[in-house]
Amino acid sequence: MTSVTNPTKHEADLMERLFSHTTENHAIDGDSTVLRDRAAQADIPLPPSQVSEAFTDLIHLWWPLAEYSVFGAESHVEFDDGQLVEEALDGRQFLWATVLDSQPSQLKLAWFLGAATGSSTNVSVDFEALETGCRLSLRQNGWQPGASGKEQFEKYQDWPHILASFSRFMGV
């Protein structure tokens, strides 16, 4: 098996267009700009346990790899041994995230996709029971300080689009 690598600056630049929405965080060094949490949600008419399982175990079927990947649409992405890894057809691998905590109602990740080596953000995904099924709520925060944090924040604008892909996969 090929070793998993953290993103290089070049690879991070390939992921320029990632993820969306807002809530709160911190100001950039000497700048009045406030970096907010990125957030998105989707209501799925299935029990939280099924939504959680589909989100993690079937990510290779619903993630829009043509738009959001390092190696392109022909690659494969999966959670394996506490990591979320993308694998190219030639066997190269790219570490997207490490699992910090995984419970039936919540998944917490150190997210590297689209970032330079060593500058992860935090992604949490909650699976909340509703009378009509499950509300999947995704939140990203933990931006790096200074200009690199602002650059990270600007990259992650497309979570609503990604969760829309998941919703379509789930039949919504």
Residue 104 structural domain: 9-58+99-169
pLDDT bucket at 115, cuts 50 / 70 / 90: low
Asked whether residue 44 is domain-assigned, the answer is yes
> What are the residues facing 39 on neighbouring strands?
139
Asked whether residue 19 is domain-assigned, the answer is yes
- Residue 27, domain CATH: 3.30.530.20
Asked whether residue 94 is domain-assigned, the answer is no
Q: What is the pLDDT of residues 5-22, one digit of tens each?
A: 444 444 444 443 343 333
Asked whether residue 52 is domain-assigned, the answer is yes
pLDDT of res. 141: 95
Asked whether residue 108 is domain-assigned, the answer is yes
List Cα–Cα distances, 19 to 15, 152, 158, 167, 171, in angstroms.
10, 10, 3, 16, 22
Q: Helix, strand, coil % (nearest 5) of the chain? A: 25, 35, 40
* Encoded amino acid at 148, one letter: S
More confident residue, 4 or 17: 4
Asked whether residue 147 is domain-assigned, the answer is yes
Q: How many domains does the chain have?
A: 1
Q: Report residue 67: phi and psi, to 5°.
A: -105, -30
Asked whether residue 78 is domain-assigned, the answer is no
pLDDT bucket at 33, cuts 50 / 70 / 90: low
Whole-prediction pTM: 0.79
Asked whether residue 155 is domain-assigned, the answer is yes
